[in-house]
Amino acid sequence: MARYEMAPTKTNLMKIKRDLGFAREGWELLDQKRKILIVELMGLIDRAVEAQEEVVAKLGEAFEALDQAILRMGRREINMIALGMNIESDISFSEKRVMGVSLPRVRVRFDDRSPYFAAAESSIWIDEAIKKFREVLQLLGTLAEARISLMRLSREVGKTIRRVNALEKIFIPDYDETLKYIEMALEESEREAFFILKLVKDRLLRRKGVTR
């Protein structure tokens, strides 16, 4: 613990008391913020992990189907079909704010229209691949939301924890120490002044006694 170099005066005492009060208030607020953020974070971790696993599994299936399709029809044919696809996906965003951190909300919407290729030209595998990739896309919206929120949130939690600690472990103890020192010094000088006054009074009385 360190004490700040400050002249032990009444003015400084008042200033320090004010600062200390402010720091304590700030600490309380930050501590609350930290707790809220961590609760939010915990829920989000589970959601993100879940979404991640789902995407990996689904994407594996999708690639499987795609491989089969490529095997049976050739890459060129698949690319042609891809050109002929007429699905439109649209993402819309909104925002949720948790303690000053902006977290995205993602909605994925599909606009299905009939494809530009004849069913006879394609195989069942391509239908399967399309279906799987669509599912993946839907999941990706959720995953994107969870992951990005998680990154932003965890960074904010880290920052908040550092601030809370700085206040709790350094700023407040140091100021406390300084406050005590100034209070002691002031009391000491007060006692000294009191003592001197008594002395003077005593002498004056004695002098009066002598002249009487």
Partner 1 sequence: MQFYVIADENTVTGFKLVGLDGEAVESPEGAREALAKAFESSEIGIIIITGRIADSIRDEIEDFTFGHAFPLIIEVPDREGPVEERVSIREMVNAAVGIKI
DSSP state of 119: G
Cα distance between residue 79 and residue 175, in whole Å: 70
Considering only the stretches 11-19, 134-142, 184-192, 203-211, report the one whose residues sit in contact with partner 1 under the rule CB under 8 A. 134-142
Of the candidates 115, 82, 104, 92, the one whose C-alpha atom is nearest the C-alpha of residue 151 is 104
Show the site string, 171-210: x = touches partner 1 by CB under 8 A, - = not: ----------------------------------------
Inter-residue contact 41 to 139 (CB < 8 Å): no
Tell me which stretch binds partner 1 (CB under 8 A): 144-152, 171-179, 189-197, 204-212: 144-152
Query: Is residue 147 within the footprint of partner 1 (CB under 8 A)?
Result: yes
Our finding on whether 9 is near partner 1 (CB under 8 A) is: no
Between 5 and 90, name the residue whose CB sits nearer to partner 1: 90
Residue 100 burial (10 A CB sphere; 0-12, 13-18, 19+): exposed
Report if residue 124 touches partner 1, rule: CB under 8 A.
Answer: no
CA–CA dist 120, 122 (Å, integer) = 6
Yes or no: say if 61 and 133 are a contact pair by the CB < 8 Å rule: no
**Binding of residue 157 to partner 1 (CB under 8 A):** yes
Distance between CA atoms of residues 147 and 97, nearest Å: 15
Instruction: Build a one-symbol-per-residue string for 20-59: x at contacts with partner 1 by CB under 8 A, - elsewhere.
Output: ------------------x--xx--x--xx--x--xx--x
User: Rounded to 10 degrees, what is the CA torsion of 16, 17, 23, 27?
Assistant: 140
Residue 111's identity, in one-letter code, is: D
Verify binding: residue 102, partner 1, rule CB under 8 A. yes
- Which positions touch partner 1 (CB under 8 A)? 38, 41-42, 45, 48-49, 52, 55-56, 59-60, 62-63, 66-67, 70, 75, 78-79, 81-83, 85-93, 102, 104, 106, 126, 129-130, 133-134, 136-137, 140-141, 143-144, 147-148, 150-152, 154-155, 157-158, 161-162
